[in-house]
């Protein structure tokens, strides 16, 4: 910037100096013409006042009378003595000298003939210039005495009583005129130079202020390009650079930990206390983290409520866990936000350099997996371990291919109907994704979803499924009687803007939110329960139904479950499939149905493969069934053609479906058909045969 300013200063000086020179040249030129005009005026005055009155109006070619010559000598002598004029000659109209103060004689020259024709001729020259011209010798410009002083040489037509009688040739001294002009010119030159200097200084001042502003702006830009504007911490690109630098320096003795810190209840805080308070909290936590790391370590905000840490000089994973646990405690210390003391928990995952890799992208991905595991397991700080991801070469290839597959529309949705047991008709369809792989054929979700779930690709996939299911719904169900169920992975649910994303897709595809069911597994809910609850409440309020998929397979706390706005519980198909053969599983199925109803939710049994299972489930009061009995998952076109047949399966069996009585237990029915049995085991529901 300083160099730029110096260059500008020098460059702006050039036109200013040039302007000064041009102005001075114009001034000088004006001064010369002024000097010439003054000399001419003076000569004119002498002609009219001193010479003309001494002459008669006779043509001078006739010569001067003695009286005229005497009178002329006197007045001209006086004018020369007064230095009004240095030399004076009177010529007749043919240009011949008839009188000269110095007695010179001579014939006409160009100027005198011009003046004889009535035009005044004047020029700035030297007194003896004409003599020099007529007798050229070795020129010597500095030979002032030979050229004589500077004069205004004037040839003026001389008129007496309006008769032109001859020509007056006069040499008016230029020195007094020049002296008077020089004084004025000096003032103008000084004023001009001062003005130009001030102008230049003003330009410099303006440029200094502009360069100053530019400098500030460019350093601000540089700062914003590398820092988070809210907390002042490094941003993601800067964090990647620092992580890369730390990775380059790390070795077996002094390792580096690349850690990701995600706040657990931040969304809830943001939603309940407002964004301003949320921002205050982030600023406070950022300050604490920055103050708690070493000078060689780095803290960055990676977006939302996620922070990144680079810890250097780490001996081993134990030490990293120790240091990160301390940092986690620093974050967890209560913060006063809007007068409320808040304690924010954080989940921290990290990868160690060089043990877990040296490539920043891979390290960040592994730290992310570890952080995600920490969230799932609620255990604070977790180190990346081989096996947290299922990355082998073929999985990596698959994930890379899947990205392109989504863009290339290689994914397809198959739909499986959900049938209402009592009404005997299909009420909803579940969208199940498949990958029409160009070489490997139709791939089931289990072969690519687990890998996708370990990367952000799953979010793109979820969006694709939701958008496709919503846009295929009108074709599948023109009467608008069916709802569509979409499976949501844990990673999508954790995102702060998930609810907004879903509602935006529904608005875009013009699908009523009440026709959409989101299926979430218990594991997904447990990854970040507070955030999940907030997201689901927002979706529920907009009309979207929430279903807990594979219920019974996870470990949801019933208290937490009761706090969620759940519309449906889906009994895990493992229980349903074995229900007829295994009394314990039948008991679980029955209990889950009652639990669901107790929570005000409807209950769906998945994995219903036989009429027996359907009849049994209806006896338990199960609301909806899904399974191969009704239909395998098929394309939307196939399902549309098959919907009537599916309803027929339901209706055909409706005669065998009976309304359950309270306390009836299926397991006993299987073991003791047609008998009323009181189940002896405590806590087990009592079964009554119809």
Helices (H), 227-274: 236-249, 266-273
Indicate the helix (H) or strand (E) that contains 158: strand 150-160
Which strands make up the sheet holding 255-263, listed edge to edge?
298-303, 306-314, 255-263, 346-353, 381-383
**Residue number, 99 or 448, with CB nearest to ligand C2E:** 448
Span 193-212, contacts to Mg ion by CB under 5 A: none
Q: How far is the CB of 634 from Mg ion (least distance, A)?
A: 16
Q: Does 264 bind Mg ion (CB under 5 A)?
A: no
CA 189 to CA 377: how far, in whole Å? 87
Bridge-based pairing state of the strands 121-126 and 163-173: unpaired
In this structure, what token pair is assigned to residue 491? 């990673």
- DSSP category for residue 338: T
Q: How far is CA 125 from CA 83, 95, 103, 128, in A?
A: 17, 20, 21, 9
Q: Does 550 bind Mg ion (CB under 5 A)?
A: yes
Q: How far is the CB of 487 from Mg ion (least distance, A)?
A: 4
Q: Is 638 helix (H, G, I), strand (E, B) or coil?
A: helix
CA 336 to CA 359: how far, in whole Å? 39
**Residue number, 115 or 433, with CB nearest to ligand C2E:** 433
**Residue number, 606 or 623, with CB nearest to Mg ion:** 606
CA 571 to CA 577: how far, in whole Å? 10
Q: How far is the CB of 492 from ligand C2E (least distance, A)?
A: 7
**Residue number, 279 or 609, with CB nearest to ligand C2E:** 609
Stretch that binds Mg ion, among 57-65, 459-467, 481-489, 638-646 (CB under 5 A): 481-489
Indicate the helix (H) or strand (E) that contains 218: helix 175-226
Counting residues that bind Mg ion (by CB under 5 A) gives 5
Task: Pick what 449 binds: Mg ion, ligand C2E, none; C-beta below 5 to 8 Å, kind-dependent.
Answer: ligand C2E
CA 451 to CA 11: how far, in whole Å? 63
Phi, psi angle pair for 550, to nearest 5°: 50, 40
Q: How far is the CB of 623 from ligand C2E (least distance, A)?
A: 17
By Cβ distance, which residue is nearest to ligand C2E?
A: 627
Tell which residue, 315, 39, 365, 325, has the closest CA to residue 173.
39
Site map 574..613 versus Mg ion, x via CB under 5 A: --------------------------------x-------
Task: Pick what 547 binds: Mg ion, ligand C2E, none; C-beta below 5 to 8 Å, kind-dependent.
Answer: none
Q: How far is the CB of 607 from ligand C2E (least distance, A)?
A: 4
Q: How far is the CB of 452 from ligand C2E (least distance, A)?
A: 8
Q: How far is the CB of 277 from ligand C2E (least distance, A)?
A: 33
**Residue number, 344 or 650, with CB nearest to ligand C2E:** 650
List contacts with ligand C2E (CB under 6 A): 416, 432-433, 444-446, 449, 465, 487-489, 519, 549-550, 573, 606-609, 626-628, 633
**Residue number, 368 or 549, with CB nearest to ligand C2E:** 549
Stretch that binds Mg ion, among 291-299, 307-315, 485-493, 622-630 (CB under 5 A): 485-493
Question: Residue 605: is it exposed, middle or buried by C-beta count within 10 angstroms (0-12/13-18/19+)?
Answer: buried
Kindly tell me which residue out of 50, 487, 535, 631 binds Mg ion, with binding defined by CB under 5 A. Answer: 487
Q: How far is the CB of 642 from Mg ion (least distance, A)?
A: 20
Q: How far is CA 143 from CA 12, 139, 174, in A?
A: 42, 8, 18
**Residue number, 305 or 519, with CB nearest to Mg ion:** 519
**Residue number, 92 or 606, with CB nearest to Mg ion:** 606
Task: Pick what 55 binds: Mg ion, ligand C2E, none; C-beta below 5 to 8 Å, kind-dependent.
Answer: none
Q: How far is the CB of 499 from Mg ion (least distance, A)?
A: 19
- Do residues 99 and 121 touch, judged by C-beta distance below 8 A? no
Tell which residue, 599, 600, 574, has the closest CA to residue 589.
574
CA 445 to CA 365: how far, in whole Å? 22
* Chain contacts with Mg ion (rule: CB under 5 A): 487, 519, 549-550, 606
């Amino acid at each position: 910037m300083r160099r730029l300013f110096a260059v500008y200063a020098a460059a702006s000086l050039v036109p200013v100096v040039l302007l000064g020179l041009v102005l001075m040249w114009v001034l000088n030129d004006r001064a010369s013409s002024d000097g010439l005009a003054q000399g001419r005026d003076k000569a004119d005055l002498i002609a009219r006042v001193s010479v003309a009155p001494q002459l008669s109006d006779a043509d001078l070619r006739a010569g001067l009378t003695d009286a005229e010559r005497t009178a002329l000598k006197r007045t001209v002598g006086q004018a020369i003595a007064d230095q009004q004029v240095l030399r004076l000659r009177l010529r007749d109209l043919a240009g011949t000298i008839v009188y000269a103060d110095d007695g010179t004689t001579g014939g006409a020259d160009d100027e005198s003939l011009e003046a004889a024709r009535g035009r005044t001729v004047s020029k700035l020259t030297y007194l003896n210039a004409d003599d020099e011209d007529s007798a050229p010798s070795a020129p010597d410009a500095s030979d002032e005495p030979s050229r004589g002083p500077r004069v205004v040489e004037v040839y003026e037509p001389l008129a007496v009583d309006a008769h032109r009688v001859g020509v007056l040739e006069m040499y008016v001294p230029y020195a007094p005129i020049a002296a008077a002009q020089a004084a004025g010119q000096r003032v103008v030159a000084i004023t001009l130079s001062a003005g130009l200097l001030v102008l230049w200084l003003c330009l410099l001042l303006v440029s200094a202020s502009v360069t100053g502003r530019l400098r500030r702006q460019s350093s601000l830009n540089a700062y914003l390009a590398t820092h988070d504007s809210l907390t002042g911490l490094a941003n993601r690109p800067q964090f990647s650079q620092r992580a890369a630098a730390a990775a380059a320096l790390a070795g077996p003795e002094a390792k580096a930990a690349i850690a990701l810190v995600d706040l657990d209840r931040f969304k809830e805080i943001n939603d309940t206390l407002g964004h301003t308070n949320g921002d205050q909290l982030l600023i406070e936590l950022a300050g604490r983290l920055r103050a708690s790391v070493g000078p060689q370590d780095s803290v960055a905000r990676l977006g939302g409520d996620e922070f990144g840490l680079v810890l250097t000089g780490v001996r081993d994973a134990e030490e990293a866990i120790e240091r990160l646990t301390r940092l986690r405690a620093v974050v967890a210390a209560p913060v006063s936000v809007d007068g409320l003391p808040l304690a924010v928990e954080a989940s921290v995952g990290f990868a160690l350099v060089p043990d877990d890799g040296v490539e920043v992208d891979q390290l960040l991905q592994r730290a992310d997996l570890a952080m995600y595991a920490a969230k799932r397991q609620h255990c604070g700080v977790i180190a990346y371990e081989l096996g947290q991801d299922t990355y082998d070469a073929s999985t990596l290839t698959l994930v890379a291919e899947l990205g392109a597959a989504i863009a290339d529309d290689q994914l397809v949705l198959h739909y499986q109907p959900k049938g209402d047991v009592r009404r005997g008709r299909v009420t909803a369809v579940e969208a199940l994704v498949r990958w029409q792989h160009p070489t490997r054929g139709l791939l089931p979700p289990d072969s690519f979803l687990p890998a996708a779930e370990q990367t952000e690709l799953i979010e793109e996939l979820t969006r694709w499924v939701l958008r496709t299911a919503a846009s295929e719904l009108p074709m599948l169900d023109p009467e608008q009687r069916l709802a569509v169920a979409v499976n949501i992975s844990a990673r999508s649910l954790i995102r702060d803007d998930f609810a907004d994303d879903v509602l935006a897709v529904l608005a875009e595809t013009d699908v009523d939110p009440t026709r959409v069911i989101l299926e979430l597994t218990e594991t997904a809910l447990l990854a970040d329960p507070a955030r999940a609850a907030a997201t689901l409440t927002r979706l529920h309020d907009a009309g979207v139904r929430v279903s807990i998929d594979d219920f019974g397979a996870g470990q949801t706390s019933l208290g937490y479950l009761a706090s969620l706005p759940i519309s449906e519980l889906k009994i895990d198909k493992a229980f349903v499939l074995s229900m007829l053969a295994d009394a314990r599983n039948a008991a679980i199925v029955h209990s889950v149905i009652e639990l669901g109803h107790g929570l005000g939710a409807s209950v769906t049994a998945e994995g219903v493969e036989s009429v027996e299972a359907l009849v049994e489930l209806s006896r338990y009061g199960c609301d909806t069934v899904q399974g191969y009995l009704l239909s395998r998952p098929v394309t939307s076109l196939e399902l549309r053609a098959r919907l009537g047949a599916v309803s027929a399966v339901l209706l055909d069996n409706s005669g065998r479906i009976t309304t359950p009585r309270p306390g009836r237990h299926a397991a006993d029915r299987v073991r003791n058909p047609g008998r009323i049995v009181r189940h002896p085991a405590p806590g087990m529901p009592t079964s009554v045969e119809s």
